A = this chain, B = another copy of it.
Amino acid sequence: MPMTGPTSMAAVVECVPNFSEGRRKEVVDKIVYSIQSAPGIKVLNVEMDPDHNRLVVTFTGNRENVQEGAFRGARAASELIDLNKHKGQHPRMGALDVLPFVPISGVTLEDCVEIANKVGARIAKELKIPVYLYESAAKKPERANLENVRRGEFEGLRVAILTDESKYPDYGPRMLHPTAGAVAVGARMPLIAFNVNLKSTDVKIAKEIAKKIRASNGGLPKVKALGFALEARGMVQVSMNLTDYTVTPIAKVFEAIAKEADGKGVEIAESEIIGLVPLDAVCDLAAKYLKIGQFSSDQVLERRIWG
């Protein structure tokens, strides 16, 4: 029998490198082409920002291909960008500045930490660029926060890396690459931008609820939240970033806001998901609505075709 069952699901890792070049189109093109030249890579998005003088590429591949694509992007950037000549509004320390790996499907965050380590070690060894591991890949707790890693930027780190032990890289030489600087390599979960709009014109209500639910005030873990007025629409908004939907699912956030709003006598008007959302997070919501105990994204027809 040629086939007797559904096909196995391919692992998908997303990579979102940020490069310090957003003005010279021929350089941007070469970097993107170098990523695409690796086998099995799919480039989903390219954002070239002249003000920030910064390039953000979003691409995917399996465990192996995504490493090769990331390395080729790093190599191209180190050949084409000279940070000594780079100016822009966005803080930066490297030609390839940050390199996060994100688990999408068939891989875990731990897998992405391993990938970050492998790619980081290779960049350090072959390109002679110091590598700092950040977010979930961080080996030192203070490096989980990218701001701490990048503090001082290219110009400041040039000295600090030589003299300040806390600035020693996780991989590679204890000195900046003369033109490509240093790179932060990390792993993180996909972000979900989620807003809940309330039938009220009192922005205090949205701000109070945001304060109550956000992680930084002891609320729901992995939730960032702010309150805004939507004046043209006569509503207020709790605007959120969910930084790990497997820790705090969208449904849990929604229910928490519904409860808080109810306590204040305010109704939920609607929600919004801005941009992209992982399939598993959508399936989780469908299961909640229908009270389905066991519902897996493997049951989504398109996943059998595409995955």
Contacts and interface: CB of A to CB of B under 8 A. Distances in A.
A289 B254 contact: yes
A89 interface: no
A232 interface: no
Interface stretch (A26-34, A146-154, A156-164, A202-210): A26-34
Interface string A19-40: 0000001001100110010000
A285 B289 CA distance: 7
A46 B275 contact: no
Interface string A264-293: 000011111101111100110110111111
Interface in A70-88: none
Contacts of A118: none
A5 B301 CA distance: 25
Contacts of A48: 1
B277 A290 contact: no
Q: Interface on chain A toward B: helix, strand, loop, or mixed SS? A: mixed
Contact of A291 (B12, B14, B190, B268): B268
Contacts of A53: none
A282 B277 CA distance: 13
B292 A273 contact: yes
Contacts of A278: 300-302
Contact of A29 (B1, B190, B254): B1
A60 B43 CA distance: 24
B301 A277 contact: yes
A3 B285 contact: no
A148 to B, nearest CB: 29
A7 interface: yes
A305 B32 contact: no
A2 B293 contact: no
Contact of A2 (B43, B291, B294, B299): B43
Contacts of A302: 12, 104-105, 278-279, 302-303, 306-307
Contact of A282 (B268, B270, B271, B300): B300
The 3 A-B residue pairs with the shortest CB-CB distance, nearest first, are A306-B306, A285-B286, A271-B290
30 contacts: A1-B25, A2-B29, A2-B33, A2-B36, A2-B46, A4-B46, A5-B45, A7-B44, A44-B305, A104-B302, A104-B305, A105-B302, A190-B301, A250-B290, A254-B290, A268-B291, A269-B291, A271-B290, A271-B292, A272-B292, A273-B295, A276-B300, A276-B304, A278-B302, A279-B302, A279-B303, A288-B289, A289-B289, A302-B303, A302-B306
